[in-house]
Structure 1
Amino acid sequence: MLDLGTSLIASVERDPNALAICDGDVELTYEEWFGKISALVAGLATLGLKPGDHVLTLLQNRWENASLHWACQLAGLIVTPLNWRAKPDEIDYAIEDAEVRIIVFEDATAEAVARAAKANGLPKLKAGEPDAEAQSLTLLMASSSPDASPRASADDWSLMLYTSGTTSRPKGVPRRHRAERAAAIAHVAQNLYRHGECTLGVMPLYHTMGVRSLLASSVIGGTFVCLRRFDVKGALDAIARRSVTNLYLVPTLYHDIVHHPDFSKDKVATVTKLGYAGASMTDGLMKKLRSAFEPELFVNHYGSSEVYTFTIDQNAAAKPGSAGRAGINQRIRVVPLGAENTQVRVKTGEEGEIVASLLGDESFEGYWKRPEASAKALRDGWYFTGDTGFVDADGDLFVTGRADDMIITGGENVSPVEVESCLSLHPDVVEVAVVGLPDERWGKIVTAFVKRSAPIDEAALDGHCKTSGLANFRRPRAYVFVDEIPKSPVGKLLRRKLVAGEYDAETSVGESRQPALS
C-alpha cells in the first residue's frame, strides 16, 4: 500500500497539467500545486518539526488548508484539525491531549488562539498575512524548494480527528496512511468517480467527509473546488463556474440548496452524482433532490470517523431509508442491544446495535489515550457503533438512529427517524426533528419540532401521520413549531438541544403550540 505522499506524487506525475485546486481566483495545476506543497514541506522542517509531531489546524476550507494537509502527509506529520469555530478551552484541551508542536490558524480563528492559554509559546503559522505571533503559511509556499520526497510509510499516522463530545471530552481518532488511502480508493469506486471529476470541497477538512473528498479527488486527477464556509449562493456559484460534477454533502446542506430562492436546475446541470452521509435523509428531501438534480447516481454512505465506511447504497432514492450493504472494505452485523457476543445476531427486521469489523482496511485501531473508551467500543474484533438499525428481507441495512436517541414511550420503542421521514412528506413541512420529552405517565412522549412553510396545525399533521400508516404509538403527542432546527457546524441534527429546551420558538408563521396529551 502506498503512503499518501507517494500517492500524491503519482497523481502529479500522471496529470501534471490537470487543474488540481481552485479557491476563488486561485487556480493551480497538479504540478504547480506540488511545487507549493514542496516549499511548505521544507518550511515545516525549518521550524523543527519531526515525523510523528502533531500539527493543530484551525482553518476554513481554503487552498492553504488543503496544501497543509498534503504537506503533512509528505513530511510524516500528523494533521490534527479542529473545528475553526473552536473555543479557547477546546483548543487548550487538544494542545495538551495531542501534545501539539505547532498551531496553524487564520484571521477567523486568531482571537480564539490568542485566548488559549496553552497556545502561548508554541510556534504558529497563519494563512494569509503574517502577524506578530505567526509567520505566514501562504508566504512560506511562495518560496522555491526542491520537490519533496515522502518521509512517511503506509503504517505511519496520517491524521487525528476529534469526535464531537456531547457528554464527555472529545476523543482523538488517529488514522494511518494506509487506512486513509484505502478509504479514498473505496470512495472513488463506490461513487463511480471518473478520471478528472470536479468536486465541491465544502465539507470541512476537520470532518471525515471533507478529508475523503480531498484525497479521492487526487486519486482521479480531479479538481477540488474550495468553498471556505458554506453558503448556498456561494455553493451554487461555484458549481456553475467550475462545472462541478459530484457533490458529497450532509442532508442539511442539500436541504438548504434545493430550498434556496436562487436554486435552479440550470445552475446544477453539470452535477451527475449525489452522495450523502453524516445523517439519515428524510423521504421528502430525497424525493425533492431526485426531481431537482435527476442524478445518474444517488449514493447513501453510512460510516464514521472511526471506520470510514460501514455500508453503501448506490441507488438510495429507489429504497428510501436504506443504507444498503457493507462497503467493499467492510463487514457489518446487527446484534441485540447490550450484547457482548457479536456472534449472536438479531432476526430479520428486528432492531439492534450495528457493529462493524475491525479487520476492514479503513478501520482505526483505538482512541488516542482513551483505553476505557476503546475497551467499550472495540470488542471481539468488532466496533460497536452506538447506532441502532435492522436488516430487511433483502439484506439491506436501515439505520434507525443512535441508541441514546431511541424513544421509549409506554414501553414501546420509537425511532425518531421513522417519524421524521413520515412528517417530511407533508408539503408544508420544511424540516422536522423528533425527540422524546419526559412525561410522568408515558415515561417519554414523542415530540415533533417542525419548521413549516404555511400555517399548518397539529391536527392536520396528526391526520397526515394517520393516513401515512404510522402506528398510533409512534405518532407525535406534541408538536412545537420553530424557526430553525438546531444543528452542528457540519449540519448534523442536535436533538440534545431540543431536549434541553435550547431552541427558538416560531415567530414567522404563527405561535408554537403544544396540544394537551391524550
Structure 2
Amino acid sequence: MLDLGRSFLASVERSPDQLALVDGGLRLTYGQWFDRVAAVAGGLQGIGLQRGDHLVALLQNRWEMATLHWACQFAGIIVTPLNWRAKLDEIDYCAGDADARAIVFQDVSADAVRDSVVAQRLPRIAVGAAAGATLQFEQLLAAQPPVPLLNAGADDWSLMLYTSGTTGKPKGVPRRHRHERAAALAHVAQNQYGRHERTLGVMPLYHTMGVRSLLAMALVDGCFVCVPKFDPVAVLAAIEAERITNLYLVPTLYHDVIAHPNCAATDLSSVRKLGFAGASMNEALLKKLDALFHPELFVNHYGSSEVYTFSIDQDAVKKPGSAGRAGINQRLRVVRLDSGNPDMAAERYEEGEIIVDLCGDEAFEGYWNRPDANAKALRGGWYFTGDTGYLDRDGDLFVSGRTDDMIISGGENISPVEIESLLSLHPAVDEVAVVGLADARWGQSVTAFVKRRAAVTSEELDTHCRTSGLANFKRPRSYVFVVEVPRSPVGKLLRRKLVANEYEAEAQQ
C-alpha cells in the first residue's frame, strides 16, 4: 500500500494546477501547496526532528495546520494534534506522554504553551504573531525540501490523536499510514466523492472527522476550504463563495448553521452530499436538512478515533436513527451487556455492547502507553466500543448510547437516545439531553434537560411523550429548562455535566 506522502505526491502529479487549498484570500494549487509542504518537511528535519518523532500541534484549521499534517507524512514524523483550547495540564500530559520533540502553536494557545513545563523544554514553533517561540513557522517555509523527499512507508506511524474521554486521562490513539489511507479511501467510497470535490474544513484537525476530510480531498484531487474556527456566518459564506459540494459535520454544527438567520439568504445549491458523525442526529434535524439541501446522498457515519468506520447508512432519512451496516473495511457485532465475550451475540432488538473486528484495515493496534485501556477494550481480536445498541429485523444497527449513559430506573434499562429523539420532534424543543439522576426509590430518575425554541411546559412535553407510544417507564419524570445543553468543542453531548449540576438553568419567569 502507498504511504500518505506518496498519495499526496500522486495528486500533485495528476493535477498540479487544480485548486487544492483555500484559507481566506490564500488559494493554492496542488503544485503550489506541494512546494510549501516539501519545504516544511525539510524545515522540521532541519531542526532535528527524525522519522518516528512526535510533533505536537495546537492550531486552528488554518492552512499552516493542513500543511504541517502533510509535511509530517513526507518526513515520517508523527503529527500529534491537540485541541487548540487545551489547558497547560493537558499539554503537559499529552506532550510528555508522546515524548514530543517539538510543539507548534498560535496566539490562542500561546498562554497555555508558555505555562506548560513540558512545552518550555521543547523547540516552540509559532504560527503568526504568537509570543514565546524559539522559531517562526516562516523559517520552516524557507527550508529546502528533504533529501530523500519520501521518508515514510505504509507501516510507519502517521498520526496520534488523543481521545477526549469522559473520565481519567486522555488516551493516545496511534495510527499507521496504511490505517489512515484505508480510512480515507473508504470515506471517499462510502460518501461517493467524485474528482475535484470541495469540502469545508471546519471539523478540527485534532479530530478524526477533520483529518478524514483533509485526506479524502487529496485522494480525489479535491479542495479543502479552511474555516479556522466554527462560526455559522463564516460557514455559510464559505459554502456560497467556494461552491462547496459536500459537508461532513457533527449534528450540532448542522443545527447551528441552519438555525442562523443568514441561512435563508445563502445559496446552498452547490452542496450535493451530506454526511454526519460524532453523535446521533435527531429525527427533526434530519428532516430539516433533507428539506433544505435535497441531498443526493445523506450519510450517517458511525465510528471512532480507534477504528474510523464501524458502520454507515447512506440514506439517513429513510430510517431515522439507523447507523446502517458495517463499513467497507469492517465487521461488527452486538454482544450481551457486560459479557466481555465477542461470541455471546445479543438477540435482534436486544440492547447490547457494540464491538468491531480489529482485523479491519482501519483499526488501530492499541493505545499508546496504556496497557490498562487495552485490557479493557481489546478482547479476542475485537474492539469493545463502550457503545450500546441493537440490530433490528433488517440487520441495521441502532446506537442507543454509551454503556456509562444507560439509565437504570426501577430495574429497567433505559436508553436516553430514544427519548431525546422523540422530544426533539416537539416544535418547541430546540435541543434536549436525557440523563438519570439519583433517586432514593427508583435508583435513577429519568430527567430531560431542554433548551426551548418557543414556550412550552413540562406538562405539555409529558403529554407529547404519553401520546407518542413511548413506554410509560421511559417517560421523563422531570424536566429542566436550560440556556444551553453542554457539549464538547466538537459537539459531543456532555451528560456528565448535567449529572454534576454543571449547567445554567433558564431564569424563572
Q: TM tier, shorter chain?
A: over 0.9
Is contact 1:265-1:292 (8 Å) kept?
Answer: no
Deviations 1:407-427 (A, max 9, x none): 011111111000000000000
Partner of 2:9: 9
Contact residue 5 and residue 74 of structure 2 kept, 8 A: yes
Q: Partner residue of 1:516?
A: none
Deviation at residue 264 of structure 1 after TM alignment = 2.0
Moved more, 267-276 or 123-132: 123-132
State how far apart, in whole Å, the 1-side matches of 2:347 and 2:131 are.
61
Partner of 2:307: 307
- Superposed CA RMSD: 1.2
Shift, 1:143, TM fit? 5.2
**Letter in structure 1 aligned against 2:385:** T
* Alignment of 1:152 onto 2:152: yes
Q: Please give the residue correspondences for 1:144-293 in structure 2 after superposition, counting only pairs within 5 Å.
A: 145=145, 149-264=149-264, 266-293=266-293
**Contact 1:38/1:148 (CA < 8 Å) preserved in 2?**
no
- 2:355 corresponds to: 355
The structural deviation recorded for 1:148 is 6.6
Amino acid at match of 1:119: A
TM-score for both structures, normalised by structure 1:
0.97
TM-fit CA distance, 1:140: 2.5
Deviations 1:47-90 (A, max 9, x none): 01110000001000000000000000000000111100000011
Equivalent residues of 1:433, 1:448 under 8 A apart: yes
Partner of 2:109: 109
Once the two structures are superposed, the pairs formed by residues 295-334 of structure 1 within 5 Å of their partners are 295-334=295-334
Structure 1 residues 414, 132: CA separation in 2 closer, same or farther (over 3 Å shift)? closer
Counterpart in the other structure of 1:484: 484
Q: Which runs of 5+ in 2 are unaligned?
A: none
Partner Cα distance (1:288, 1:259) in 2: 10
Aligned partners of 2:269 and 2:487: how far apart in 1?
29
Q: Distance in 1 between matches of 2:211 and 2:478?
A: 40
* 1:456 Cα deviation from its structure 2 partner: 0.5
**CA deviation profile, 1:222-255 (whole Å, cap 9, x unmatched):** 0000000000000000111100010000000011
State the secondary structure of the residue aligned to 2:261.
coil
Cα distance in 2 for residues equivalent to 1:17 and 1:127: 27
| Secondary structure class of the residue paired with 1:317 | coil
For 2:256 and 2:466, the matched residues in 1 are separated by 28
- 3-state SS in 1 of match to 2:262: coil
TM-score of the two chains, using structure 2 as the length reference: 0.98
Partners of 1:387 and 1:399 within 8 A in 2: yes
Mapping of residues 315-464 of structure 1, within 5 Å = 315-464=315-464
Q: Is the 8 A contact 2:311 2:324 kept in 1?
A: yes
Matches of 1:173 and 1:130 in 2, distance apart? 28
Q: Are 1:29 and 2:29 counterparts?
A: yes
Q: Please give the per-residue CA displacement for 1:436-488, whole angstroms capped at 9, x wherever unaligned.
A: 00110111111000011122001110111111111111111000001100000
Q: 1:460 corresponds to which letter in structure 2?
A: E
SS of the counterpart of 1:113?
helix
Check 1:445–1:2 CA distance in 2 against 1; reply closer, same or farther (3 A cut): same
Deviations 1:139-178 (A, max 9, x none): 5225554787210110000011001132211110000000
Does the CA contact (< 8 Å) of 1:196 and 1:223 recur in 2?
Answer: yes
TM superposition shift of 1:135: 1.6
Q: Distance in 1 between matches of 2:133 and 2:392?
A: 57
Where do residues 26-175 of structure 1 align in structure 2 (5 Å cutoff)? 26-129=26-129, 131=131, 133-142=133-142, 145=145, 149-175=149-175
In 2, are the aligned partners of 1:129 and 1:138 still within 8 Å (CA)? no
Secondary structure at 1:483 match in 2: coil
Partner deviation per Cα, 1:198-240 (whole Å, 9 max, x = no partner): 0000000000000000000000000000000000000000111
Instruction: Name the stretch that deviates more: 190-199 or 288-297.
Output: 288-297
For the residue of structure 1 that corresponds to 2:455, the secondary structure is coil
Shift of 1:341: 2.2
- Residues 333-354 of structure 1 deviation map (CA, whole Å, 9 limit, x = unaligned): 0000111321121111111000
Q: C-alpha offsets along residues 2-27 of structure 1, whole Å, 9 cap, x if unaligned?
A: 00000000010011111000000010
**Contact 1:130–1:136 (8 Å) recurs in 2:** no
Verify the 8 A CA contact 1:64 1:138 in the aligned structure 2: no
SS at match of 1:318: coil
Partner of 2:504: 504
Q: Which moved more, 1:257-266 or 1:247-256?
A: 257-266
Secondary structure of the equivalent of 1:398? Answer: strand
Distance in structure 2 (CA, Å) of the matches to 1:280 and 1:448:
17
Q: How far has the Cα of 1:127 moved from its partner?
A: 1.1
Pair 96,266 (structure 1): closer, same or farther in 2 beyond 3 Å: closer
Q: Secondary structure of 2:490's match?
A: coil
Aligned-residue offset at 1:505: 0.5
SS in 2 for 1:310: strand
Q: Could you tell me how far 1:133 is from its partner in structure 2?
A: 2.6
The alpha-carbon deviation at position 261 of structure 1 amounts to 1.1
Matched to 1:36, the amino acid is R
Q: C-alpha offsets along residues 479-509 of structure 1, whole Å, 9 cap, x if unaligned?
A: 00011000000011100000000000113xx
Cα deviation, residue 266, structure 1: 4.2
SS at match of 2:376: helix
- Quote the Cα distance in structure 1 between the aligned partners of 2:39 and 2:96: 29
The runs of at least 4 consecutive aligned structure 1 residues that moved more than 6 Å come to none
Structure-2 separation of matches of 1:133 and 1:366: 34
Change in Cα spacing, 1:299 to 1:496, as seen in structure 2 (3 Å) is same
Secondary structure (helix, strand or coil) at the match of 2:338 reads coil
Aligned residues: 509
- Which SS does the other structure have where 1:445 is aligned? strand
SS of equivalent residue, structure 1 residue 262:
helix
Deviations 1:82-105 (A, max 9, x none): 100000011000121100100000
After superposing the two structures, state which structure 1 stretch, 131-140 or 242-251, moved more. Answer: 131-140
Q: Secondary structure at 2:300's aligned position in 1? A: strand
8 Å Cα contact 1:422/1:465 also seen in 2: yes
Partner residue, 2:494: 494
